A and B are shown apart, each in its own frame.
Chain A
Amino acid sequence: MSLLTIIYAGLFYAATAMLVGGLAYKIYGYWKTPAPLKIPTTPAPITPLGAKLRVWREVLVFESLFKSNKWIWLFGILFHFALALVLLRHLRYFTNPVWEWVVLIQPFGKYAGFAMVAGLAGLWGRRLVVERIRYISTPSDHLMLLLLIGIGASGLGMKFVAHTDIVDVKSFFLGLMHFNLQPLPADPALLVHLALVATLMVIFPMSKLLHAPGVFFSPTRNQADNPREQRHLAPWAAELDK
């Protein structure tokens, strides 16, 4: 077993542990912290089901962002949907046999990589050109975009420029999943791609990428507008009534 394989195997085990552990820790924190007051941004749905649908509209069609700014919405939705498609396409490296629907989306997923990079480029362009957004950008905001574009570009490079041996890549990842290490091809584009992905996994639970779980816990979006009909009380606040 080459040193390279061992390093990358270790890297992915560590990154997976940090991603899962870190996210579980953050989500547990959101979950156990109460929202003591009713603060939905109104007009809001008056039933809990309506509030759930509102959250899903935020997740699936970026409802509020659409109200705000059509350009950010366009680039944002382009990037996120392309990324989703690309991620689903990658399931073929982790399943054997490959699920039927994953096979079906391959042709779309292949080109979604371009849409993803285009969306990212649009977002970065705004970050650089629009004075207000440039003002609020931190170095990490730029690096995050660079990282995602790096992942997209290295992936596209392997698909459309210099092919890597995906059969070996697949056996490496299936091996990881079954704790039975298989050699990883020493292809530079692949190594860059995987290293960047592992980096993304590590920083996910301690960066702004927490917007992904965060949106589900946002009280202004997930609360129903029914304060007169139901008494809403947090445990720490209930103590005051005693």
Chain B
Amino acid sequence: MAKAEFEVPSYRKLPTIPALKEGATAHVKPYVADAAVQDALGYPGELVEDWHDKAIGRMGELLDKYRSLRVYLDACVHCGACTDKCHYFLGSADPKNMPVARQELMRKVYRRYFTLPGKLFPGLVGAADLTKDVLDDWFTYFHQCSECRRCSVFCPYGIDTAEITMAAREILNTVGYGMKYTNQILGKVLKIGNNLGLPGPALEDTLQGLEEDIEMDTGVAVKMPLDVQGAEILFVTPSADFFSEPHVESLIGYAKVFHAAGASWTLSTHASEAGNFGLFNGSYEQMRKVAMRIREAALELGVKRIVVGECGHAWRVIYSMWNTLIGVGAGGTDPFAIELQKQLDPRFKQPMHICEYTHDLIQRGVLKLDKSANDHRVVTFHDSCNVARASRMGDVPGGQFTIPRDIVKATCNNFVDMDQDTIHEKTFCCGGGGGVLTDEVLEIRVKGALPRMEALNKVVENNKVNFMATICAICKAQFTKVLPFYGFDMGMVGGVHQLVSDAIVLGDKE
């Protein structure tokens, strides 16, 4: 079991709600971004002198730009429906990790500066000045939110804490109080093209190495084409897939699927990142800038389709926002959108998830899968929060639950779902999403993983599950790190296309 400098929470016998422990994770905060990191994104390098006025000013601007923020800061009635829904609260017992309490950190400031009762009777209505202490609280607790939207499922008004967290982070950035991890990564993707900062030649090298590995392994020359002009499909995947374990196993899986389908496909050095950390910062402009690389690559390579790899928040941005941000989709009537949409093939969903792509091939009998190749595994599936609650796959609501499970079931003989209250729309975040995947906040990552670990433990004990499949690069990295704290092997987690990779029978093999 991994050694921790903090107490790893123990499993609850029943799903009891913890008693409040004020300030339990008040000391857990990410590193503050330095001037170089901030400069690269156009934010002030350090906390500006007039931070108070600037923060309130920015809040006012955001209230005029985002209906969600404006409505959600007004509508909460403190009913308590969300108080026991956040994984970080369940794991830490810190009351400020209850979604409503997290929102109140901003709402109390909103009341003080933007509502009449808050101006006249701050004590009565729970309004407060924006002091340095409050700003520090923002920095701490808005970085103990993974923007997973679980609270929004249960709120009678649909209040989504993620919207508040995003606005708070944007305000913090505006006054020069940014977070190092997220902002550093954004700097890399804007400058080099992917979150890992992997330059073109290195990517080429990596792919060549992988091609050799696959050929050694299978005897089949599966290709991973790069920057192929005129390819039909542009494939975009989180850059972790190129380097990290177990991510790379899924990359091999995608390549085998494309190979088996006989597809004309290509990766791109310019658009070598599906992830979009601009979402975590709640910055529309940044999100657009990051996504723009995909549009540029698609136009330049002249592709007809865009398919994307396994990643949670990325799929949220891709599915729900790419059409808005960069015109990848259909139905556009303005020149910006039409320029790209007239190039894309309207017979296919644009953009398309690799699971939709693979699922379709399985349905049509194009892929040959040998389930027994995964007979050493008993598999469960972890719904990644952003896929589950902020996107869809296929034609019907809930396709994001059935399609990946259908693929898993097509690749193995032993599948079992975890507790109903921890899957589908009620799934628990892995604990590392939303820009929290950095080691200085490991304590909250481990504590936030508690509800998922409890559910996993149950199927491990009852059903001998030994593999948890998921379709998110952050989930994979987070679980690899966190599983050992709960006594599990870190190799228990992997991608859905890792299973596909192991089960697929490549035609020219026999």
Contacts and interface: CB of A to CB of B under 8 A. Distances in A.
B211 interface: no
A114 interface: no
Interface string B77-121: 111111111000000000100101100100000000001110000
A136 B321 contact: no
A44 B71 contact: no
A42 B324 contact: no
Contact of A206 (B115, B154, B334): B115
Interface in A183-242: 203, 206-208, 210-211, 214-215, 217-221, 225, 227-234, 236-238, 240-242
B67 A138 contact: no
Given A42-B388, A221-B158, A240 B288 contact: yes
B19 interface: yes
A46 interface: yes
Given A67-B153, A215-B75, A227-B324, A236 B390 contact: no
B333 A231 contact: yes
A14 interface: no
Most buried by B among A43, A45, A238: A43
A38 B324 contact: yes
Interface in B386-432: 388-392, 396-398, 400-401, 425
Contacts, number: 233
A210 B333 contact: no
Interface string A23-51: 00010011001111111011111100000
Interface stretch (B123-131, B183-191, B197-205): B123-131
Contacts of A135: 20, 95, 98, 101
A35 B320 CA distance: 13
Contacts of A35: 66-68
Nearest to A46: B397
A137 interface: yes
Nearest to B334: A241
Interface residues of A, number: 68
Contacts of A42: 388-392, 397, 400, 425
Given A138-B78, A203-B117, A228 B351 contact: yes
A100 interface: no
B124 A238 contact: no
Interface stretch (A87-95, A102-110, A126-134, A171-179): A126-134
Interface stretch (A5-13, A58-66, A149-157, A162-170): A58-66
Given A36-B284, A210-B74, A217-B67, A228 B17 contact: no
A136 B78 contact: yes
Given A141-B78, A215-B156, A227 B320 contact: yes
B349 interface: yes
Given A42-B391, A206-B115, A211-B76, A220 B125 contact: no
Interface string B490-506: 00000000000000000
Residues of A contacting B: mostly: helix
Given A35-B67, A214-B75, A217-B67, A206 B124 contact: no
A146 to B, nearest CB: 13
A42 B83 CA distance: 20
A2 interface: no
A180 interface: no
B260 interface: no
A33 B66 contact: yes
Contact of B336 (A30, A37, A225, A241): A241
- Top 4 closest pairs, chain A to chain B, by CB: A138-B126, A214-B75, A68-B154, A43-B397
Interface of B: 17, 19-20, 63-68, 70-72, 74-85, 95, 98, 100-101, 104, 115-117, 123-126, 149, 152-160, 163, 284-285, 288, 319-321, 323-324, 327, 329-334, 336-337, 349-351, 388-392, 396-398, 400-401, 425
7 contacts: A26-B74, A38-B321, A68-B82, A132-B95, A137-B78, A211-B157, A214-B72
Given A43-B397, A206-B116, A215-B75, 19 more contacts: A30-B70, A36-B65, A45-B397, A65-B81, A131-B19, A136-B98, A138-B124, A139-B125, A140-B117, A143-B124, A203-B117, A210-B75, A211-B77, A217-B67, A218-B72, A221-B158, A230-B331, A232-B324, A237-B324
Interface of A: 26, 29-30, 33-39, 41-46, 58, 62, 64-65, 67-69, 72, 76, 123, 126-127, 130-133, 135-141, 143, 203, 206-208, 210-211, 214-215, 217-221, 225, 227-234, 236-238, 240-242
